[in-house]
Structure 1
Amino acid sequence: MGEAHEDPVVDLRLDLAHSARIYDWLLGGRTHFAADREAGRRILSAFPAAGEAARMNRAFMHRAVAHLAREGLTQFLDIGTGIPTSPNLHEIVQGISPAARVVYTDNDPVVLAHAAALLRGRPEGRTAYVQADVTVAGSVLEAPRLHATLDLRRPVALTLNALLHFVPDDGRDRAHAVVEDLKAALPGGSALVITHGTSDFSPLAMGRVTDVLARAGTPLQLRGVAEFRRFFDGWELLEPGVTLAHRWRPGRPEDPGRPTAAEAVCYAAIARKP
């Protein structure tokens, strides 16, 4: 009789807070655990506008991918997907282009457990999920499921929403190196969508948030506008360029008093590869 082989046991470590599940809690989702809720409450205590900032980031993502789908992009690679929260990226883009293909990636096994919700796309298109860590060389770009779904010889919209501030540099400028590797793998006409937390407008509150996440075992590296702009080097920024997430082509006239920059604390931009 042959030797039985079992799938490796994955320790979900639900006793530790995870950024994807904290974000889900801030958005009012249901996929989070006690450690995530406790970290979320501490973040709100340090920065009461955190929930609104998360919602502004999410709303920007919806506008960004809808814009790119209307511009004709039909392939999307979303890295750092997080817990599914409807409408998901594929629901937005396949509502505009039913044949669009979407690959989601994340490094949280809990996200994998909810991947079925991500894979309910339009029958004309394709959706797939890859469990991978963007900081591990090749784990995303060499994944067979990615290549079975996307054709990297054709333009791809790469979205990195609220992800890169969880990639500390550790003295090696890791976040920019990761983005440059991803950019180099994509052909002309591709798009890059990034949102990123900053302490430029609310340094004391964001310093407290950084401390909360550090105690929860999740390092946070906020970056200023110059560091954020570097992610797009060599690509052409779409108007209005680098701005706060809620100010990137808002869908309705902006209330001049709300939200303030100190409440938004998240840069956003889209660029195209020449």
Structure 2
Amino acid sequence: MSSPATVLVAAQVPHASAHLVHLGVVVIGVLGLAAILLPHLVHRAATPLPHSHHASRTVSSTAGRDHTGLPDEVAAHLALLRTTTARPAPARAAAATTPRCWLPLAVVGSTVAAGVHAALVPPHSATLPTLAMAFAVCAAGQLGWAAALVLRPTPWLLRLGVAAQLGVCALWALSRATGLPPLLPGPEPVGAWDLLALTTQLAAVAGGVCALRAGHGHRTAHWLDWHPAPHVVLTLGVGALALLTLGGVGAA
């Protein structure tokens, strides 16, 4: 017959393993994002300064002239420059906003949501191991989508991520309304963790949808060049995640 101490140790082993899984997801996520974003910073530091305002104005004025007599390569380049500068101002503004705001917003929202789902793994590992595994898979998927958006944000990838984020939000709403049998036999209460996950996932959806509407062919800007909005979401999201974790707020 096992002693009470042995039973207690045996009961703590799965919980300790879940904490190790949670810590591993967080560490891998931080290191992964650092590995992705730091090369952008190094590349930005190594990029030469842009041409002066006078040179840019000269090139722009040259783009509207007749290119007869110029070499074919130069004429083609100037014609392309004239076509680009002739785009409507709203279209240029939307295209410029995509790499600085919408794509970073999707990256930040998905990353913070992944941290929330990773934090939900330990408290559910003992009582609802299947649900804990689902949280771990969700966290890995959201983190992977954020990394893929930094590397190569294709239209297909944006659509897939937006649909997946909306699907997770729909499952959450269903779990709070009727439950998710057999994982959750009844509805669950709405807590601080739920609000943080829902808010960051909706931010990721908004960033992905706006990036799709603004057009394709963009890459995420260097993180120092991001629009203030993604920086604010990142700061508030990470701060809330740290407060909930360190404050011991229960995750239902």
Q: TM-score range by the shorter chain?
A: under 0.3
Q: Structure 2 length as normaliser, TM-score?
A: 0.23
- Which has a greater percent of helix? 2
- Which has a greater percent of strand? 1
